[in-house]
Structure 1
Amino acid sequence: MSATVFSAGFQQLGDTFYSEVAASPLPEPQLAAWNAELAASLALPAEPDEALLATLAGNQPPVGAQSIATVYSGHQFGVWAGQLGDGRALLLGELQGQEIQLKGAGLTPYSRMGDGRAVLRSSIREYLCSEAMHGLGIPTTRALALVASPEPVWRETRETAAVVTRVAPSFLRFGHFEHFFYGGNEAALRQLADYAVQRYFPDCLTAANPYQAMLEQVIARTAELIADWQAVGFCHGVMNSDNMSLLGLTLDYGPYGFLDGFDGGHICNHSDHAGRYAYGEQPEIGLWNLHCLAQALLPLLDREAAIAGLKRYQPLFEEALGERFAAKLGLRARQESDWPLLSRLFELMQASRTDWTIFWRRISHFDSSPGALNEPIRDLFLDRTAFDGWAWDYKARLAQEGSTDAERHTEMRQVNPKYVLRNHLAETAIRAAQAGDYSEIARLQALLTRPFDEQPENEHYAALPPDWANDLSVSCSS
């Protein structure tokens, strides 16, 4: 039985950027979930052997690299929070060029209240949503393994511990750069920026200012990412600058949620009392966070060039969003006049709290023939007459570009998912796992790897949420 050997990546930067930390042993570890597809891409076995499981539980140090917790700072809910850092995450090293990180592996020098251990509940939510977003084609960190334990952990109540293994090309955050900017350590800021450009933005090396070129790529990736979120109705819930990925990945799955009934002001995080991170605010918050990153990089940039780069965000985002909603409506040649049609649709959906995912899936079967009422879609609206008016204009728009139903239906089903990780689905898996049954995690993982497929045997997972789901609440402790 040969050991899995990790290579040092971020560790090569030196201890200015991290603290060496050994994981806290996890008693009675049980493998609750394993991502065989991701494991294969990392040259890992189809099932973890005893030694690998021990490493992923935090009970055995990684071979080839020292586990570390990185230091960063950030703005939380719009307020400078000072030094933060990996309070419950340890970077083991790299496999096949991917960083491998344990979340929930114990206390670090950067742990605050509630840090160190993660609970089974939040770990299941992160494991499943990482893979659900990957299945949707949205840039994200991935989840390799979930290890559970009977070790007690206190949040609002007594829960049990778990460790989730996260995988990404890099876990660099905007907050890593903020830390050294606000600490006045320009040498470390430059060293970190050089590392990021060389490792993750090598095409920027030939630019007149590689740091400016990197910033512009981060701006573009962030605009694309948030357009992806808006299109599928994903709410991150806690878009602090320290939760923003330099690579444009969805990072840190805490109080997230997918829209059920549409509400542009939906707040998925019950700790977000002012609604800063509501669904409709996410695009603007993305820009706010990019300003934080640009400010942190300013010693390496020309100020006017940085401002010009930030001004590109809004048109980039609008272009990306327009492309996604044109595809969701089955329109091949996007026009500026499509925005009023889309705005009217959102107003109708808002008034009826129309289920976001079900609407877009049903409209993927829209019948554009004369006289067709499209009752399955129409019945999702309270004001059916208003919907009829909108549908008439939508039919005219489809006719304008010679759209054919059969071809359009096939294309629309590839961008309008039938299945997303609704809160009640995750909650069902959590309750089963807390009773010792991990099978629902595996079922949901398999389901969500193919969210665009019909999967008639799984039809019940695409239904409207049950009444009890209205009482579910997620917060920053989730």
Structure 2
Amino acid sequence: MNAPYELGLPTAAQWINRYASLGEAFYTRLPAQGLPEPRWVATSDAAAHGLGWPRDWWARSDALSVFSGNALWPGMDPLATVYSGHQFGVWAGQLGDGRALLLGEVQTPSGGMEVQLKGSGRTPYSRMGDGRAVLRSSIREFLCSQAMHALGIPTTQALCLVASPLPVLRESVETAAMVTRLAPSFVRFGHFEHFCHHGQPQALRRLADFVIDHHLPECRRQAHPYAALLETVVRRTAEMVAQWQAVGFCHGVMNTDNMSILGLTIDYGPFGFLDAFDPAHVCNHSDTQGRYTYHRQPQIALWNLHALAQALMPLIEDTDLALAALETYRSAYPDALMRLMRAKLGLRTREDSDAELVDAWLTLLARDRVDHTLAWRRLGQFPVDAARGAGPVRDLFIDRAAFDAWAARYRQRLARESSHDGERRAAMDRVNPKYILRNHLAEIAIRQAQAGDDGEVRRLLRVLERPYDEQPENEADAALPPDWAHSIEVSCSS
């Protein structure tokens, strides 16, 4: 067997688990329940590069055993963490890593990175679950994690995906899989809620100090470090959600236990990218009340931040300090969104009327249910010179007169800053993706993988890793979705 250093992988001494230092009240140590007959489905070169690992790390003789939960590299110390949370706005009590294990943490060129298995079997926090993940949902999480990373949106990443013939019962019998996830920290809002709700102020303080000292040290230098922690999370969450809205991403299950303390997109389940622009779109079939619709995501994020603030009150103690930290969301979110929207419109300067221009554009998209990604991408070809028409974006609209009225306003706005068509298109193409993980593309990859052919998963990963590039050979992946795509449903089991 090759030693880890021969492929540039961490040695036993380089595997650490700082979270384990918090004490046994925070986790349970236990081994994974390995997958039988595992096979590689895909690995991410980008995620491996971020770890400082070579591209062929997975070729090591024992790598498949380790990342299917059947073995450990020296230094790994698997544990499942405990947390609680609000689910669909209702207190759900104790939750925790019901199908995930933290293997440990490795030092990377950009700092510490935790490595976690998802789908690794039952833990004390599984409740009535089996602790497994199915191939269908694992493909979706693997691809979307890397797609979001390539889009520049804060996210956990996925290093690799392993499949097994092990049967798993969901709505029907499916097969098992395991995703290896990466993040600087997997601490969630729910971790803080757990220790507050259970009346453990010392553990709550220890957790907050851990997050500050290891991940947000700038908070320690403030007069009120715990209020500073809350405000930092508020700002990071506002930025993340603004990026979701700008790209048309719907998380689908924004429970407090699915919110990262570092402002990362975490827990890809019933997510979806908008095809036809519908602000009231519900991507989660289990969300019967529409709590997590696209247009409610900013509001829900603030609701979740209030829950976090409540959990931190035993440390902050001063209600005014907590409210002041929360109040920053009301400016941080719209400021972040308008910055992104100006970039998406190709605007270099700021005018007070820009918000009205954006709102009018989004109203047009919603009225005609225009494809969100295509509309923004084609808008980059819009010419300042009216004699040249409006470019291919106009063809997406049913109400051409309404579009023409908006286009006249947009053209005047571009003219006021002497916008140059070529430069503007290049800038817009850098922020308006051509390729996103549409549900039907994921579904095709899933069906082929379920039939034993993993090639489409790997091909689609390569496409999604270059979302802003023109890829003539993959033009079909940027086209309007087929009619059958409208019948795809994803739920919490997805």
Matches within 5 A, 1:249-264: 249-264=264-279
**Does the residue aligned with 1:16 lie in a helix, a strand or coil?**
helix
**Partner residue, 1:2:** 3
1:360-439 equivalent positions in 2, closer than 5 A: 360-439=376-455
Equivalent residue in structure 1 for 2:78, among 67, 84, 91:
67
C-alpha contact (below 8 Å) 1:22/1:61 kept by paired residues:
no
SS in 1 for 2:387: coil
C-alpha contact 1:261 1:354 (8 A) present in aligned 2: yes
Tell me, in whole angstroms, the C-alpha distance in 2 between the residues paired with 1:244 and 1:8.
Answer: 22
Please tell me whether residue 164 in structure 1 is matched to residue 182 in structure 2: no
Q: CA offset at residue 130 of structure 1? A: 0.2
Q: 2:283 aligns with which of 249, 263, 268?
A: 268
Q: 2:352 aligns with which of 306, 322, 336?
A: 336
1:34-49 correspondence runs (5 A): 34-47=43-56, 48=58, 49=60
Matched, 1:24 2:25: no
Q: Distance in 2 between matches of 1:134 and 1:42?
A: 14
Give 1:235 shift.
0.2
Kindly indicate whether the alpha-carbon contact (under 8 Å) linking 1:264 and 1:279 is maintained by their aligned counterparts in 2. yes
Aligned pair count reads: 478
Distance 2:352 2:448 in 1: 48
2:326 corresponds in structure 1 to: 310
CA contact (8 A) 1:88 1:117 kept: yes
Task: Give the secondary structure class of the aligned counterpart of 1:371.
Answer: helix
Tell me, in whole angstroms, the C-alpha distance in 2 between the residues paired with 1:42 and 1:421: 24
Please, which moves more after superposition, 41-50 or 261-270?
A: 41-50
What is the deviation of 1:43? 3.7
Q: How does 1:215-230 map to 2 (within 5 A)?
A: 215-230=230-245
Higher mean alpha-carbon deviation, 342-351 vs 263-272, is at 342-351
Query: Which residue pairs with 1:243 in the alignment?
Result: 258
- Asked whether the equivalents of residues 189 and 257 of structure 2 are also in contact (C-alpha less than 8 Å), the reply is yes
Equivalent residue for 2:374?
Answer: 358
Partners of 1:336 and 1:68 lie apart in 2 by 52
Please identify runs of 4+ aligned residues in structure 1 that moved more than 4 A.
none
Matched residues in 2 for 1:375 and 1:112: separation?
55
Aligned counterparts of 2:53 and 2:359: Cα–Cα separation in 1:
48
Match of 1:107 among 115, 122, 139: 122
Offset of residue 50 of structure 1? 2.4
SS of the counterpart of 2:440?
A: helix
What is the alpha-carbon distance in structure 1 between the residues aligned to residue 238 and residue 44 of structure 2? 29
Shift of 1:41: 3.1
TM-score normalised per structure 2: 0.95
1:375 positional shift: 4.7
Instruction: Indicate conservation of the 8 Å contact 2:383/2:391, yes or no.
Output: no
Q: C-alpha distance in 1, partners of 2:272/2:193?
A: 28
- Three-state SS of the structure 2 residue aligned to 1:470 is helix
The answer to whether 1:94 aligns with 2:105 is yes
Say whether 1:11 aligns with 2:20. yes
Which of residues 320, 336, 341 in structure 2 aligns to 1:320? 336
What's the secondary structure of 2:290's corresponding residue?
A: coil
> Post-superposition shift, 1:63?
2.1
Mark the CA change 1:327 to 1:40 in structure 2 (over 3 Å): closer, same or farther: closer
Contact 1:114 1:155 in 2 (8 A): no
Give, in angstroms, the shift of residue 65 of structure 1.
3.4
CA shift, 1:372, in A, is: 3.0
Counterpart contact for 2:381–2:391, Cα < 8 Å: no
Cα distance in 1, alignment partners of residues 388 and 333 from structure 2? 35
How far residue 220 of structure 1 moved from its aligned partner, in angstroms, is 0.4
SS state of the match for residue 493, structure 2?
coil
Kept in 2, the 8 Å contact 1:141–1:166? The answer is: yes
Aligned partner (choices 165, 170, 194) of residue 155 of structure 1: 170
How does 1:133-152 map onto structure 2 within 5 Å? Answer: 133-152=148-167
Unaligned runs of 5+ in 1: none
AA matched with 1:126: E
Return the offset for 1:195: 0.4
Cα contact 1:88–1:105 (8 A) shared by 2: yes
For the aligned residue pairs, the C-alpha RMSD in angstroms reads 1.0
2: CA distance, partners of 1:62 / 1:336: 57
Shift of 1:55: 1.1
Find the partner of 2:489 among 469, 473, 477: 473
Give SS of 2:166's match: strand
In the alignment, does 2:218 pair up with 1:203? yes
3-state SS of the aligned residue for 1:69? strand
User: Which residue of 132, 135, 139 maps to 1:117?
Assistant: 132
Q: Which shows bigger deviation, 109-118 or 381-390?
A: 109-118
Deviations 1:43-93 (A, max 9, x none): 434231122221110001342132000000000000000000000100000
Moved more, 290-299 or 363-372: 363-372
In 2, the alpha carbon distance for the partners of 1:393 and 1:374 equals 12
TM-score by length of 1: 0.98
Aligned to 1:78: 89
CA distance in structure 2 between the aligned counterparts of 1:155 and 1:200, rounded to whole angstroms: 37
